[in-house]
C-alpha cells in the first residue's frame, strides 16, 4: 500500500508502464570488487554520510544512551509540567515524566519495528517479484495487477481497522496483539512490500534474458536454483535501496497511526503516540510536539539521505556528475 503521496511504489508502477516514453533504469548490481567501488562512491556522498552519522547517533542514543536518562515512567511530581530545562532537555509531559527519555524509549520501539518491517517486506517482495519476473506470462500479469492495486490502496484506513481488531488467536502459536509492536510489524510488512516486488520483478525480467541464465539452464539447474544463485544476487543493489526507503516509510506510517491513536497504544511509547494528546492543547505544551516530531523528521530525513547515497552508489549511470 502507499501511505504517502509520491511513494517509490507509485513511481515504480508508472515507470513500468511507460516502456518507451521514459525508459527504465539499467539493472546492475555490484559483484566482488564492485562492492568496494560502491562503498567508495557512498563514502564520497557527503549528504549520505551525514545521514548515516545521524542514524548511528540516534541508534546509539536510543539503545545505549537511554540507560543514562531518567526512567520514562518516573514522574517528577514536585515540578509542574514544563518545557526544556537543564534537568529535562526535552521538558516534561502532562504527568511530569521526562520527555527525553520517553522519546528515547519510543525510539527503541519505532526503530526496531521499522527495521523489522524492512526485513519482512524484502522477503515478501523478493518472493513475489522474483516469481512474477521469472515465470512471466499470466503469472506475471496477475501478480503485477495485484501488486499495483495493493500499492494504490491507502494504507492508513486499512491498518487502523486491522489494528483495532485487537488480539487475535493464532491457534497453537499463541495469540498476537495486532496493536502491539510485533503485530504492527507484521501488518506493516503485509502492506508495504509492493515497491520491492516491483523492483525485483523488473530486475528479474531483464536479468532473465542474460546469457548466464541460459548457461545455467544448459547445465541443468532448476529454476529455483537459478533464481536464488544467479538472478537475486544481481538485484541486490535495487533491493537494498528500496529496503532503506521502506524503513523511512515504516517509521512514518507507524508514527502517524500511533499519533492518531490507532496504532500502538500507551503506555508503550512510540514516537507517534508521544504527540497524540497534543491535538487539543498544543498551545500549552509546544515542546511535546516539537521535540518528538523533530526527532521523527530528522531520522526519516537521514534515512532518505542514506537511501539516496545508496542509490547513487549502485547505479553506474549516476556516478559521473558532470
| Interaction site with another protein (CB under 8 A) | 2-7, 10-11, 13-15, 17-23, 141, 145, 148-149, 151-158, 160-162, 164-166, 168, 248, 252, 255-256, 259-262, 275, 278-279, 282-283, 286, 289-290, 293-294, 296-297, 300-301, 303-305, 320-322
Least distance to another protein from the beta carbon of 167, Å?
A: 11
Which CB atom, from 44 or from 229, has the smaller least distance to another protein? 44
Helices (H), the chain: 8-17, 33-44, 46-63, 99-135, 137-152, 155-164, 181-192, 194-208, 211-218, 223-226, 232-260, 287-314
Q: What residues contact residue 171 under an 8 Å CB cut-off, 6+ apart?
A: none
Minimum distance between the CB of residue 103 and another protein, rounded to whole angstroms?
A: 13
Determine contact, residues 239/200, Cβ cutoff 8 Å: yes
Torsion of CA 140, 244, 106, 86, to 10 degrees: -160
Minimum distance between the CB of residue 6 and another protein, rounded to whole angstroms? Answer: 2
d(CA 160, CA 69): 32
User: Which of residues 13 and 232 has its CB atom nearest to another protein in the complex?
Assistant: 13
Residue 281 CA to residue 132 CA, distance in Å, equals 50
First to last CA, the chain: 37
For another protein, which is the closer residue by CB, 226 or 275? 275
Residue 14 Cβ, how far from another protein at the closest point, in Å? 4
Cα gap 226→24, rounded to integer Å: 24
Q: How far is the CB of 318 from another protein (least distance, A)?
A: 11
CB of 320 to another protein, least distance (A): 6
Give min distance, CB of 110 to another protein, in A: 12
Report the residue number, 134 or 150, with the smaller CB distance to another protein. 150
Residue (106 or 126) nearer to another protein, CB: 106
All cell numbers assigned to 249:
516509510
Shortest spacing between CB 233 and another protein, in angstroms = 25
Closer CB to another protein, 131 or 156, in the complex? 156
Residue with grid cell 515478501, as numbered in its chain: 124
Q: Which residue lies nearer to another protein by CB, 180 or 293?
A: 293
Strand partners, 176: 168
Q: How far is the CB of 219 from another protein (least distance, A)?
A: 25
d(CA 94, CA 80): 8
**CB closer to another protein, 52 vs 232:** 52
Nearest to 2 by CA among 175, 112, 149, 208: 149
CA–CA distance, 185 with 120 (Å, rounded to integer)? 8
CA-CA distances (angstroms) from residue 179 to 109, 193, 244, 254?
13, 20, 24, 11
Inter-residue contact 18 to 167 (CB < 8 Å): no
Nearer to another protein, 69 or 155 (CB): 155
Amino acid at each position: 500500500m502507499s501511505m504517502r503521496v509520491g511513494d517509490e511504489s507509485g513511481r515504480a508502477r508508472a515507470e513500468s508502464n511507460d516502456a518507451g516514453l521514459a525508459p527504465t533504469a539499467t539493472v546492475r548490481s555490484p559483484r566482488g570488487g564492485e562492492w568496494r567501488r560502491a562503498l567508495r562512491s557512498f563514502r564520497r556522498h557527503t549528504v549520505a554520510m551525514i545521514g548515516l552519522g545521524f542514524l548511528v547517533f540516534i541508534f546509539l542514543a536510543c539503545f545505549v544512551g537511554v540507560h543514562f536518562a531518567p526512567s520514562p515512567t518516573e514522574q517528577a511530581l514536585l515540578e509542574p509540567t514544563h518545557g526544556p530545562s537543564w534537568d529535562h532537555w526535552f521538558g516534561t509531559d502532562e504527568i511530569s515524566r521526562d520527555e527525553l527519555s520517553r522519546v528515547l524509549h519510543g525510539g527503541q520501539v519505532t526503530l526496531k519495528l521499522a527495521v523489522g518491517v524492512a526485513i519482512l517486506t524484502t522477503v515478501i517482495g523478493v518472493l513475489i517479484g522474483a516469481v512474477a519476473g521469472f515465470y512471466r506470462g499470466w503469472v506475471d500479469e496477475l501478480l503485477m495487477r495485484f501488486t499495483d492495486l495493493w500499492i494504490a490502496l491507502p494504507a492508513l484506513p486499512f491498518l487502523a481497522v486491522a489494528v483495532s481488531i485487537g488480539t487475535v488467536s493464532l491457534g497453537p502459536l499463541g495469540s498476537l496483539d495486532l496493536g502491539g509492536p510485533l503485530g504492527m510489524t507484521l501488518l506493516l510488512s503485509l502492506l508495504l512490500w509492493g515497491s520491492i516486488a516491483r523492483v525485483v520483478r523488473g530486475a528479474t525480467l531483464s536479468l532473465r534474458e542474460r546469457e548466464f541464465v541460459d548457461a545455467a539452464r544448459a547445465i541443468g539447474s532448476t529454476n529455483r536454483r537459478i533464481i536464488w544463485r544467479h538472478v537475486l544476487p544481481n538485484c541486490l543493489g535495487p533491493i537494498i535501496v528500496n529496503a532503506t526507503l521502506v524503513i523511512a516509510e515504516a517509521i512514518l506510517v507507524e508514527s502517524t497511526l500511533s499519533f492518531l491513536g490507532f496504532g500502538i497504544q500507551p503506555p508503550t511509547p512510540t514516537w507517534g503516540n508521544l504527540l497524540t494528546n497534543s491535538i487539543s492543547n498544543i498551545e500549552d505544551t509546544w515542546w511535546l510536539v516539537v521535540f518528538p516530531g523533530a526527532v521523527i523528521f530528522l531520522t526519516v530525513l537521514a534515512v532518505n539521505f542514506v537511501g539516496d547515497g545508496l542509490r547513487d552508489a549502485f547505479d553506474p549511470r549516476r556516478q559521473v556528475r558532470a
